Amino acid sequence: MPPKKAIAFGKIGSFGQLSISTQPVTKSEDSGFGKFGKSDEEFRVEPTADVERAMGFQGFGKNKAAPVKNFDLESLVEQSKQVARERERNSLKVSGAVNSVEVEAAENVIGPTPPPQTTESIVTESEENKISLAPKKPSKITTRTHSDDEDVDSSDSEDDDETGTYIPAALEVNLNHGTKPVSALSVDHSGARLISGSVDYDVKLWDFAGMSSSLQSFRTIRPCESHPILDLHYSITGDAILIISGTAQAKVVDRDGYEKAECVKGDQYITDMARTKGHIASLMGGCWHPRDKQEFLTCSQDGTCRIWNVEDVKQHKGIMKSRSQNGLRAAPTSCTYSRDGNLIACACNDGSIQMWDHRKMFVNTSVLIRNAHQSGTETSSIVFAYDGRNVATRGGDSTLKLWDIRQPKSPVHSVGDLFSRFSMTNCAFSPNDRLLFTGTSFQKGESGGKVVFLDRTTFERVHEIDVPKAHVVRALWHPKLNQIIVGAGDGNIHLYYDAAKSHNGAKLCLGKPKRIRPHEMMSTVRVITPHALPMFREDKPRSTRRAMEKARKDPLLSKQPDLPIGNKGSGGRVATSGSTLSSYIVRNLGIASRIEDEGNPREAILRHASAAAANPYWVSPAYSKTQPKPIWAPENNDGDEEPDAKKGKLN
């Protein structure tokens, strides 16, 4: 076996030598591993112009030979300040030019000065600093005439759009719920369905897409028997409806009105409300969580607000006890969540507003406002603004107040003279959060209720919608439909919308014709029995025309009235009697034994007295053998003598 060859790595050179000399050690070019590290020849830049031209781009990356760019922060700050100064100077010049144009236009106006208008386009040129103004509409700088009414109305609506105070109330549609006040209204988030409740215990569901111009609801339910409906709410997904009635148990039904869950009722003999599983008194209000579709809130006259879960309604999820200033129980009259769901607020009958943090234990209140409204009145509504900073309350003392939860000592704004007869009257914010509106009831001497719109910043009355001959109980403004829905005290639901700015909703059903339902026809089922006996066999029905002709000839089936008779009788009727044979016989018997009843009946009876005395026939012969002889008292000629019964007793 030949010996194995040794493995050689070539010449190591000076790699393994240890040199302590001061002169640098030079490595041989023909060493085994060569030179450690990067070589300049190995990484030299190759020309790529042809490749770049063929592939269609400018390079394969940054050039490593390019120097690193250095940023001077001080110069950048100075440059930005200079740009800001130039922009501010240009804006001042533009505003001055606009004011001069408005002054010139105001001098040419005949009559009252129109409201200030803004130009449609302002373009600034950086080189020449010239200002070009777009021409204004002539209807806004000329006098108002009768022919310009439509133009002025359109301009007013444009101005309202700019200020955010436009109200879509140009057109109106009425839905009839019943004859009693509509106490609850709700529209799902998509704006496809409307649900209404009343004190007549009925809940009606309306579908805008499936409803025709007849404006009829597609379903009517009575979920709580003989209890009025106080509040209705769609969940955030629109698949469930919360029903608050006069009972102690809230109900949850699905989108079509079928029951899904019913809260349990608590034990009314337990004093501590935290140890009961549910409410023990009638409900006052409720709402869904704005973020969680499984959670909802209810408040009751037992002095508690309870949080529930739809999946488990056998016991409440959380409880909050509202207390008055002296520590006694205060019944909440309305409750709500904040827009983000972190706060739970309720208004109580002692006039206070109490709020709890949903993220903490419900032991102490986070925000407490005492004497917010008059004590003893029912605050019918409490609602948060869309920004989450302000809270509006509608009091039973005819006031509407706006609060800031950051400074709750005093209201930001307050307005009075808003009379209401109902404990369900609500208030709400407009979709753009600039208006606040509520409903009023009419008093003696007024024509009807109103929907009052107030500016949120100044609390001035911006607009009013009159509802003739009816109180306004509920009002809501749907942000997606841009329509205002009002529940009135006469059982009608008023939908206000604008033809151009509103979408779907009432506009869907108005264009559909009324559907005529075919009359229900009862048809008899014919059983074919080919092997039946002749007496049970049914003839094959032929044409209906022959059957109708045959029934017409039959006097019983056709119900033909009796024909007038002639001189001779026919069909058992005698002509001289006028009708039938029996009537003829009765009439003849009456004529034969006719007795004249005219004269004095007493004389007619006494006429037979002598004959009866001479020849008694009925009474006297019957008692002739048994009747004793009558003994008459002797006649007294002396009329002054009194009878023995009346004589006085002798002593």
The residues pairing with 196 across neighbouring beta strands, listed in sequence order, are 185, 204
Tokens 């016989």 map to which residue?
585
Mean pLDDT by 10 residues, the chain (651 residues): 55 45 47 51 63 63 52 76 82 62 46 43 39 35 38 53 76 92 94 94 92 89 92 94 94 93 93 92 94 94 94 93 91 94 94 93 91 91 92 93 92 92 93 93 90 93 92 94 93 93 87 65 68 79 78 82 68 60 70 63 84 79 77 67 66 52
- CA 453, CA 440: separation in Å to the nearest integer? 11
Answer yes or no: are the C-beta atoms of 191 and 183 closer than 8 Å: no
Most distant CA pair in the chain, distance: 199
With contact defined as beta carbons under 8 Å apart, do 12 and 31 qualify?
Answer: yes
- List Cβ neighbours of 217 (8 Å cut-off, separation of 6 or more): 175, 204, 205, 206, 211
453 to 172, 434, 438, 458: CA distances (angstroms): 17, 10, 7, 12
Nearest to 207 by CA among 193, 196, 187: 193
Which pLDDT belongs to residue 380? 92
**Sequence spans of domains, the chain:** 182-420
68 Cβ neighbours under 8 A, 6+ residues apart? none
| Region at 61 (left for phi over 0; alpha for psi -120 to 50; beta for the rest) | left
Spatial distance between the Cα atoms of 367 and 352, rounded to a whole number of angstroms: 11
User: Mind giving me the DSSP string for 364-398?
Assistant: S-SEEETTSS-TTS---EEEE-TTSSEEEEE-TTS
- CA atoms of 319 and 275, how far apart (whole Å): 10
CA distance 167 to 159: 12
Q: Which amino acid is at 521?
A: M
Question: Which amino acid, residue 288?
Answer: W
What lies within 8 Å, CB to CB, of 283 at 6+ separation is 230, 244, 245, 246, 247, 248, 249, 250, 298, 299, 300, 301
Q: Which residue has the tokens 């034969």?
A: 592
d(CA 373, CA 398): 10
Which tokens hold the place of 149?
């009414």
Count CB-CB contacts under 10 A for residue 282: 18
Phi, psi values for residue 274, rounded to 5°: -70, -20
- In the CATH scheme, what architecture does the domain 182-420 have? 7 Propeller (2.130)
- The pLDDT assigned to 339 comes to 92
Contacts (Cβ under 8 Å, ≥6 apart) of 637: none
Among candidates 444, 328, 435, which has minimal Cα distance to 392?
Answer: 435
Angle subtended at Cα 74 by Cα 69 and Cα 79, rounded to the nearest 5 degrees? 95
Give pTM, 2 decimals: 0.58
Print burial letters for 477-494: b (CB count within 10 Å at least 16), e (below 16). bbeebbbbbbbbbbbbbb
Tell me how far apart the alpha carbons of residues 501 and 157 are, in angstroms, rounded to a whole number.
11
Name which of 411, 519, 425, 430 is nearest 483 in CA terms.
430
- Pair type for strands 240-245 and 229-234: antiparallel
- Cross-strand pairs, 305: 299, 320
What SS3 class is residue 485? strand
Between CA 63 and CA 70 the distance in angstroms is: 16
Q: Are 349 and 377 in contact (CB under 8 A)?
A: yes
SS3 of 1-70: the string is CCCCCCCCCCCCHHHCCCCCCCCCCCCCCCCCCCCCCCCCCCCCCCCCHHHHHHHCCCCCCCCCCCCCCC
Q: In whole angstroms, what separates CA 543 from the centre of its chain?
A: 55
What's the pLDDT at 17? 45
Residue 387's closest CA among 357, 426, 431?
431
- How far is residue 573's CA from residue 292's CA, in Å, rounded to a whole number? 85
Are 422 and 471 spatial neighbours (Cβ–Cβ below 8 Å)?
yes
- Give residue 640's pLDDT: 60
Residues counted in the chain = 651
Q: Across the strands, what pairs with 299?
A: 285, 305
Which stretches does DSSP call E strand in 489-558?
492-497
Supply φ then ψ for residue 234, to 5 degrees: -85, 145
**Strand 332-337 vs strand 318-321: parallel, antiparallel, or unpaired?**
unpaired
Nearest CA-CA partner of 384 in 341, 321, 320: 341
